[in-house]
Structure 1
Amino acid sequence: MKIVIVSDTHMPRKGRELPRTLQKDLLESHLIIHGGDFQTLDVYKEFARYGELIAVAGNVDSDELQSLLPKKRVFEVKGLKIGVTHGDGVGKTTEKRALEAFEEDNVDVIIFGHSHIPFLRFMKGVLLFNPGSPTDKRKLPYYSHGILMIEDTWKIEHKFYT
């Protein structure tokens, strides 16, 4: 099972279309997880056209998206319990805010966004993953998104591109 993980697309402000590398992965995916900051409902609908979409609202999403999407989600895929949140807020690092959001949920993986900084690390026994951004790399050298493969075991990794 191939799951595409993306966040912080910020379209149309930061791009007119999704990068080709991301489009190719979306076409091959069984599930899409978006960590918020689509920006508009049209961008949300574009992702949904590629297949099943699990998403949360980000801090710059339109009012329409804020009312449609939750700030936090927990779900299970093939025995892997996943939490998704955008990670925005006040105080602490984005990673710590994401971790605290799921303290009571006993998840295996937490997917978050907000900082646009690719992140892959275990904290308190939970894997935290930020896919970065496919359209707004800020001062980083590459755009990015994530791929989660689940078969007998699972692995998660970043895909970097220019």
Structure 2
Amino acid sequence: MLLVIMSDTHLPKRARDLPAPLWMMVDEADVVVHAGDWVDVDLLDQLEARSRRLVGCYGNNDGPALRARLPEVARANLGGVRLAVV
């Protein structure tokens, strides 16, 4: 199982986009995990569209739009391994 883990992307404030090699890994991954501080809903939409499976939570820099769509703690069972992201 290929797992991609990221957090604190802060798009588009700290960067315009994720690096191309990271997007390539997202496209190939079985599961993408984002541990918060997305900052903008557009990245959530893009990762949902490109990921086979997305596990994510909101962070302290995420506003109401992201908090409405993401949990504070995201939980998943990945091949018998329990994962929690805070």
**Whole-Å separation in 2 of the counterparts to 1:28 and 1:40:** 23
Among all aligned residue pairs of Structure 1 and Structure 2, give the percentage whose two residues are the same amino acid: 31
3-state DSSP of counterpart to 1:46: helix
**Whole-Å separation in 1 of the counterparts to 2:27 and 2:76:** 22
Q: What is residue 160 of structure 1 aligned with on the other side?
A: none
Give the counterpart letter for 1:74 in structure 2.
Answer: R
Query: Is 1:84 aligned to 2:75, yes or no?
Result: no
Q: CA deviation at 1:58?
A: 0.5
What does 1:119-130 correspond to in 2, within 5 Å? none
Equivalent pair of 1:41/1:62 in contact (CA under 8 Å)? no
Q: What is residue 57 of structure 1 aligned with on the other side?
A: 58
Give a deviation string over 1:35-73, Cα, whole Å, max 9, x none.
011101111111112112111011111211112111112
More strand by proportion, 1 or 2? 1
**Whole-Å separation in 2 of the counterparts to 1:25 and 1:60:** 25
Give the counterpart letter for 2:33 in structure 1.
Answer: I
Q: What is residue 24 of structure 1 aligned with on the other side?
A: 24
Q: What is residue 34 of structure 1 aligned with on the other side?
A: 34
User: Which segment is superposed worse, 4-13 or 64-73?
Assistant: 64-73
Runs of 4+ in 1 over 2 A off after TM superposition: none
Give the counterpart letter for 2:29 in structure 1.
Answer: S
Give a deviation string over 1:61-112, Cα, whole Å, max 9, x none.
1211112111112221111111100xxxxxxxxxxxxxxxxxxxxxxxxxxx
Q: What is residue 43 of structure 1 aligned with on the other side?
A: 43
Relative to the length of structure 2, the TM-score reads 0.91
3-state DSSP of counterpart to 2:26: helix
Give a deviation string over 1:1-37, Cα, whole Å, max 9, x none.
1111110100000111111121111111111110011
Relative to the length of structure 1, the TM-score reads 0.50
**Number of aligned positions between the proteins:** 85
Give the counterpart letter for 2:71 in structure 1.
Answer: P
**Whole-Å separation in 2 of the counterparts to 1:57 and 1:75:** 15
Listed as ranges, the gaps of 5+ residues in structure 1 are: 86-162
